[in-house]
Structure 1
Amino acid sequence: MSETQAPQPIMAEIKTHNRISKVWLIPFLALAIASWMVIDTYVNRGPSITITFETAEGLVAGKTRVKTLEVDIGFVKDVRLQGNGVIAHIQLDQQVADMLTEDANFWVVKPRIGSGGISGLGTLMSGSYIEFVPGNSSELSTSYIGLEQEPITAFGVPGTRLDLVSEQGNSLSIGEPVLYRGFEVGRVEKSTFDIENRRVHYQIFVKSPYSELLTENTYFWNSSGVDFNATTQGIKVNVGSLESIISGGVTFDVPIDLPLGNAINTARPHILYPDADSVYERRQYQAKEFIVMFEDSIRGLDVGAPVEYRGIRVGTVAKIDSTLTMNSLASNEQRIPVLIKFEPARLGLPDEQSSVDLISQYFDKWTGQGLRATLKSGSLLTGSLFVDLDYYTLDTQDEAETYQSWPVMPSMAGSLAQIEEKVFDILDKFSSMPIEVTVDNINEMLASANKTMIGLNEAVTDVKALINAQETQAIPESVNKTLSQLSKTLESYNHQAPVYGELEQSLSQFQQLMRDIQPLIKELNNKPNALIFKGQMDEDPQPKGK
């Protein structure tokens, strides 16, 4: 038997693989996607900005959204304390990167109640959010100061913004209306206090097309809603809208004595007058300045008091200060200098320098004809004074003089001083009267009057005695008896009395007698001797035919 050959062992072929397993593609793919997302997020990430607020009310990191026109454009990443306020770090979308101008505005929208109404009620359900309104500047910014109040005027509304200046700080509030002849055309947007000049600045907005009403001759005044004015023609009460009555507002118009003029200059501030009358009384005119030297007390004369000519305002008191008074005291001057402005525009002349020059030309002529300045009482209740100009008949003419660089307008004692002088004259005359002789005459008159009163008392006593006499007391009783008898006599002639019946029967018998004697009277008329010669009566005539 042959030997069986053992099978040859099969050797495993070992091959070395140099490729990476496909399983590892998954993490590499995930890493690539993540890297792409990171790069895309970084490249397309919007800008980050910071906004400073006074408080963090309504701000929650990671939750509070940023919106514009109700479109979500970002969120609050972080809120931190900074100084006296808080700073919010905001992440915005790339789509608003070009809208982040330096004059853009941010504020927190939440429920508010103010003069402009109720706003932010929708946030009661959705929560507060930050509203973003782009500006008009070309410069971009990443740091902003948030507004504490919602802007009065919505973004993009066409119109005109103006700056008003007032000396009174409590006259207007944000959101109050801007009116033109009672019609609302805008709102007060902002109020700030100028510490250096101690004045209040108000920013107002007038909507288009009403902004075309604003011209260079437009004046602004505070309207309280109710204007009460008592004049010689009666009492006038002007009532504005209900809103202006409650909160007030700003009214503007062009005075009737001025043309409309060109477009208004929005670069300079405009004066906010306290009321409509102040527009005419305190308006700045081209003026000629004079000094008036008063010998009277100027108590009650204030800066801004009117200068009038026979009831027509022609100027304003410009200055009463210690400098002028000190100079007059230093020069042993007993008169008090007051600076006044003569404003030709109030007389209907153009508000130009040529009108001022015209006043200067006629000044010497007017004073030579007797034009003088006096102090008169403007109100007995308040004791206020004003300067009155008028012509007077003078015995002597005052010489022209100047005080420092101003011409001096001659003056006279005012009406109050004249009254005081007359009172003193009366007292002087009274003191110069012969008092002793006058007293003796008065005593004689009193003695004579006393005698007269005694005689009058005696006469009154006699009259009382006459009235109390028995004969006088019996007169009324006798009169009463006479009246009673007369009444009885009149009653006897009543139609129901017997006398009245007998009288009526006698009248009837008399009438029957008259009817019976009618034939006799007729016969006697025909034949007067019928009572003596009795004869036949003539037959009645008979008619006969032809």
Structure 2
Amino acid sequence: MSYPTGSSGSGRLPSPSLRPWAGLPWIWAVPVIALLIAGWLGLRTIADRGPLITISFPNAEGIELGRNEAARTTIRYKNVELGRVVSLGLSDDQSHVVVTAEMRSEAEPLLRADTKFWVVRPRLEFSGISGLSTLVSGAYIGILPGGGARGARDFTGLQNPPPAQGLVGGTSYTLTTERQPFLSDTAPVYYHGVKVGEVTEQTLSDKDGSVAIRIFIYEPHNVLIRPGSQFWTSAGFEASLGSQGLQIETESLQTLLSGAIVFDTPPAAMAEAESPAGSQFTLYRDRKSAADSGDPVRVFYRVSFPGPLHGLAIGTPVELRGIPIGRVSALRLEYDASSDEIRVPATLEIAPHRIATESEAAIPRDDQKAATEATNRLFERLIAKGMRARLAPDNLLIGSRVVDLEFLENAEPAQLGQGEPYPELPTAPSTGLDDIARSASTFLDQLASLPLGELIGGMRDMVKHADAVVGSPELKRSVKQLDRTLADAGQFARDIRTQATPLLAKLNSAADQLGSTLALLGNDPRSSTDLARTMSELKDAARSVRVLAD
């Protein structure tokens, strides 16, 4: 092997030639770009990473903490993922579970002091089935942003989904009642049969024991809530037996199972301004109580009815000319020492605005004292014209009564009594059941005075005589003889019918011949004279035959 030698032939290697560097090869750009992308992704991940929050739940049902991130339970708002569960453990006292979740940065504005979290999973409720989509995608944690201070990190999860408040527009109101009605946690609110809201919360007051019920009315139905709106509960089934017979009202199956709140706004109340959020209303037990609440003032009177008060109870209607104007609000037993008797006075609660009055006698609507005085003056005039309070039957089947303010003819003079605590109305004897009882008593007295023994004995004798006559041999022979006579009469009638036909034919022929003869004789005057003589002789002959027949 030979090696190249230098130009001088000395056998040394040639010296390398040096040139300036022209730059790195393009292949070095690949790792640089990859490094830049990795750095950008890292910065993006750090920028997107939001805060860590903790949520306390009663249990971990539906929450998954998988081995990889994709298997972990997500946190969603309007079906947009805002975070994932990163850890799951028990609280220090082991009373609940604590879920730690990593949120995205865009979720920061939603994390407020009153933000609510709950587990979305399939649920069977009175209103239907919800959360069916989670059967495929799996359960997730829902979020409902609040309106409190921002920056909250610790939250208490809800066991059940929150009401629609916050998910849709609307307004919240508070209803108060003395007793807890039959209502589920999310009972519906109806207006004219249409669902316009729902119950959001029910709390018991520690001060007076009343129940406060918060409701949420959806937009645009919240404009129906006015200061004059009336609310009442509906159990889905109502039955009443009154003067109009048996009345049954039914609602939907949901109302029957969960209860409901119904409200109405009278036309006059629609002229008022809309009620602001948080307004309080009274929740009544039924429609009738709510309707009675529309009267601005109430005036009370006392009345003492003579005789027994069977069928009179608290709530008994008070009617004027058949129109309800109030009710019985109280009944009590009182001992009158002056007469040594027990009386049962009733307190009547009158709604005076149900009686239309003229402008000069108008009853104030916002002044209880002035309304009471005006109503007393009105009743004094009516009493002077014969108005009296008396008990009248309402339903004979169940024995209920009404207090009837009726105008009586030729009524004895009376006036409005100035008693305590309320004025006393004059009364009149009861009608209806008492009259029937008195009539029945009179009838029984008259019936008892009759000689029933003698009457019954006489009737027995008559029956015996009639039986003897019917069974006597003479009557039997008479019946047989009558039967034979009727048979002979029938045979005679048949014979007459048989012989009458040829006789009628001969009479018709004789009549024709007589007609012809009369026609011939009519033309001859002498024949007429002879005919008259002949007819006279025929009459004499007929008379002789009749005498002979007799």
TM over 0.5: yes
Partner of 1:386: 402
Offset of residue 64 of structure 1: 1.6
Which residue of 397, 402, 415 corresponds with 2:419? 402
Map 1:147-162 onto structure 2 (within 5 A).
147-153=158-164, 155-162=166-173
Q: CA deviation at 1:58?
A: 0.8
Structure 1: distance between partners of 2:365 and 2:147? 39
Corresponding residue SS for 1:314? strand
Pick from 109, 113, 121 the counterpart of residue 124 of structure 2: 113
One-letter identity of the residue aligned with 2:84 = F
TM-score under structure 1 normalisation?
A: 0.66
- Identity among equivalent positions (%) equals 25
Q: Given the alignment of the two structures, is residue 347 of structure 1 paired with residue 355 of structure 2, yes or no? A: yes
> Which secondary structure state, in structure 2, belongs to the residue aligned with residue 97 of structure 1?
helix
- TM-superposed CA distance for 1:130, in Å, is 0.4
**Corresponding position of 1:335:** 343
Question: SS state of the match for residue 373, structure 2?
Answer: helix
Q: Which aligned pairs between 1:223-242 and structure 2 lie closer than 5 A?
A: none
Which TM-score applies when normalising by structure 2? 0.66
Q: How far has the Cα of 1:308 moved from its partner? A: 1.7
Q: 1:467 to 1:272 in 2, by over 3 A?
A: farther
Offset of residue 149 of structure 1: 2.4
Query: 1:255 aligned to 252, 263, 266, which one?
Result: 266
Structure-2 separation of matches of 1:406 and 1:213: 39
Q: What are the superposed Cα offsets for residues 208-244 of structure 1, whole Å, 9 maximum, x if unpaired?
A: 2222222222223445677888898899887877866
On the 8 A contact 1:375/1:388 being kept in 2, the answer is yes
Structure 1, unmatched stretches of 5+, are: 1-33, 494-498, 505-509, 515-520, 526-546
Aligned pairs for 1:500-515 within 5 A:
none
CA distance in 1, matches of 2:137, 2:90: 25
Q: Which has the larger Rg?
A: 1
Residue equivalent to 1:533:
none
Does residue 144 (structure 1) correspond to residue 155 (structure 2)? The answer is yes
The residue type equivalent to 1:51 in the other structure is: I
Q: Cα gap change, 1:232/1:361 in structure 2, threshold over 3 Å: closer, same or farther?
A: closer
Letter in 2 for 1:317: V
Shift in Å at residue 152 of structure 1? Answer: 4.1
Q: Cα distance 1:303–1:330, how it changes in 2: closer, same or farther (>3 A)?
A: farther
Aligned residues of 1:77 and 1:91 also touching (Cα < 8 A): yes
8 Å CA contact 1:344, 1:351 repeated in 2: no
User: Which residues of 2 match residues 73-112 of structure 1 at below 5 A?
Assistant: 73-82=82-91, 84-112=95-123
CA distance in 1, matches of 2:221, 2:114: 25
Query: What secondary structure does 2:424 align onto?
Result: strand
Change (3 A) 1:377 1:98: same
Q: Deviations over 1:379-426 (max 9, x none)?
A: 3344444333234455464783422x4333344554478448836974
Per-residue CA deviation, residues 84-127 of structure 1 (Å, 9 max, x unaligned), is 43332333233222322222221111112323333222222221
CA contact (8 A) 1:374 1:387 kept: yes
Whether the aligned pair in 1 keeps the contact of 2:295 and 2:353 (CA below 8 Å) is no
Aligned residue pair count: 461
Match of 1:269 in 2: 280
Measure, in 1, the Cα distance between the counterparts of 2:387 and 2:263.
38
Q: Which of the residues 296, 302, 314 maps onto 1:285?
A: 296
Q: Quote the residue 1:6 is aligned against.
A: none
Determine the structure 2 residue equivalent to 1:17.
Answer: none
The one-character-per-residue Cα deviations of 1:226-283 (angstroms, maximum 9, x if unpaired) are 7888898899887877866887644432235655422124423323445444432454
Residue deviations 1:469-525 (CA, integer Å, cap 9, x gap): 4x43433443454455456657989xxxxx99xx99xxxxx9xxx9xxxxxx9xx99
- Aligned-partner residue type, residue 52 of structure 2: S
Q: What is the CA–CA distance in structure 1 between the aligned matches of 2:490 and 2:443, rounded to whole Å?
A: 67
Are 1:188 and 1:202, in contact at CA under 8 Å, matched by a contact in 2?
no
- Contact 2:144 2:167 (C-alpha < 8 Å) held by counterparts: no
1:52 aligns with 2:56: yes
Corresponding residue to 2:485 among 472, 475, 479 = 475
Distance 1:328 1:81, change over 3 A: farther
Is the contact made by 1:151 and 1:189 (CA closer than 8 Å) also made in structure 2?
A: no
* Distance in structure 2 (CA, Å) of the matches to 1:484 and 1:300: 76
Counterpart for residue 373 of structure 1 = 389
Asked if structure 1 preserves the Cα contact closer than 8 Å seen for 2:198 and 2:216, the reply is: yes
Deviation of 1:318 (Å): 2.7
Asked if structure 2 preserves the Cα contact closer than 8 Å seen for 1:110 and 1:129, the reply is yes
Residue 374 of structure 2 is matched in structure 1 by 358
CA distance in 1, matches of 2:395, 2:308: 16
Q: Structure 2: how far apart are the matches of 1:476 and 1:238?
A: 71
SS in structure 2 of the partner of residue 407 of structure 1 = coil
Residue identity in the other structure for 2:63 = L
